[in-house]
Amino acid sequence: MKNRLHKVAMLFIAAALIIVAGCSASASPKESLEKATQKMAEVTSYESTMSFGIDELTVPDELLQEDGAGAQYVIGLLKGAKVNVKAVYQKEPLRTDMEMDVTAAGISIKIPMIMTDKKMFVKIPALPMLMLPEQYTDKFVEIDLEELAKQAETGAMLDTAAQQKLGQEVSGIILKHFDEKTYFSSLKKEDAALPEGVEADQVVRFQINEGNYQQAVETIVNQVLPELIDTLTKNEDFMKMIESTNEDVTKLKADFEANKQETLDQLKTNLKVNDFSIVGAIKDGYLSQQTAKINVDFTDESGGIVKVGGSLTAEYHNINKAPKFLYEIPTDAVKMDELMSGMGLGM
């Protein structure tokens, strides 16, 4: 349970850092961020490009040896991995088209996707390791999301409106607890190194580093997490989705309180944030571009140090304009059960 709480706390730290990303066109940096976050949650459509890469990943040899060849293979894949995504989003009727380019271990694959409220279409890349029958190459596979949820025996997913409402509540909780003078600052546009073509009325930076990390952990564990847990567990739709009972909630809160100090100590001792920064550009009150960088060291119980560094950039265009989707909804898509049968897997 202690390890579980430790992992949960670290997960929420990562979530907090990621959510705290945005800016707006006036007032203080923190207020600008709050307004922009809310406006981005309310957009009806946009086009975006995103790039994510793992810049550093160092794992001690003794840890790799303990976990065997599988761990070494995964680390090898992740080192230097890059993901580029092009997306078009529409709120009503719900639809997102994505083109994902993944490069890892010298292999590049492209994965086209279309997602609606009830279905997802994925074009599976023709990789030798997948042994995809020839008749299914270059075709979309249709996945029934409702049927998939039934087979996985999970609770019903939140609808789009409920997701946005809950997302705004979570963002508000996280943002309000971080001290503006400690974490937020405005940047001059000429100092922000914005990509060519990106326009901005204001540029804001949120940063956690060695100097304020200890305070950030205190803020998250003592203020953000308790309110976040309380808000989520009071949301009936969310509780149905994760299939949790009142007894589960009571136990979760009790375990969290009982292990709070130990969680704090572990995070302060074992996790070192060299730098986590998000630079966000705002145009007309909306987020137009984001750049995020992270560099952390994690020390395990044996004293081994894992170093992780990554970067992300994202740009948003044509906000609230008629979307130009990347693909047509396929009329010859292969059903999932047909694909499984054709590959001799069955369902």
Q: Are 271 and 298 contacting, i.e. CB atoms less than 8 angstroms apart?
A: yes
Neighbouring CB atoms inside 10 A of 128's CB total: 6
- Give exposure, 180-198, as e/b (b: 16+ Cβ within 10 Å): eeebbeebeeeebebeeeb
Secondary structure E strands in the chain: 45-58, 82-90, 95-104, 107-116, 119-123, 140-144, 184-187, 202-209, 271-283, 286-299, 305-317, 334-335
Query: Which two structure tokens, joined as six digits, stand for 266?
Result: 């572990």
Q: What is the CA radius of gyration of the chain?
A: 22
Give 17's contacts (C-beta < 8 A, 6+ positions apart): 206, 208, 276, 278, 294
Which of 167, 161, 209, 186 is CA-nearest to residue 282? 186
**pLDDT surpassing 50 at residue 225:** yes
| Pairing of β 140-144 and β 334-335 | parallel
Query: Which pLDDT tens digit goes with each residue over 70-92?
Result: 677 778 778 888 999 999 999 99
Is 311 a residue whose pLDDT tops 50?
yes
Mean pLDDT, rounded, for 141-165: 68
Q: Which residue has the tokens 């060519």?
A: 196
Q: Report residue 112: phi and psi, to 5°.
A: -80, 140
Q: Mean pLDDT, to the nearest integer, of 295-320? A: 91
pLDDT digits (tens, 9 = 90+) for 235-274: 777 777 677 787 888 888 899 899 999 999 999 999 999 9
Neighbouring CB atoms inside 10 A of 309's CB total 17
Q: Does 312 or 25 have the greater pLDDT score?
A: 312
Q: Per the structure block, which two tokens stand in for 289?
A: 């571009």
Mean pLDDT of the chain: 82
333: nearest Cα among 87, 145, 126, 138? 138
pTM for this prediction: 0.77
- Which amino acid, one-letter code, is at 298? F
pLDDT-wise least confident of 5-14, 222-231, 306-315: 5-14
Q: What is d(CA 188, CA 241) in angstroms, rounded to the nearest whole number? A: 44
Q: What are phi and psi of 100, to 5 degrees?
A: -110, 125
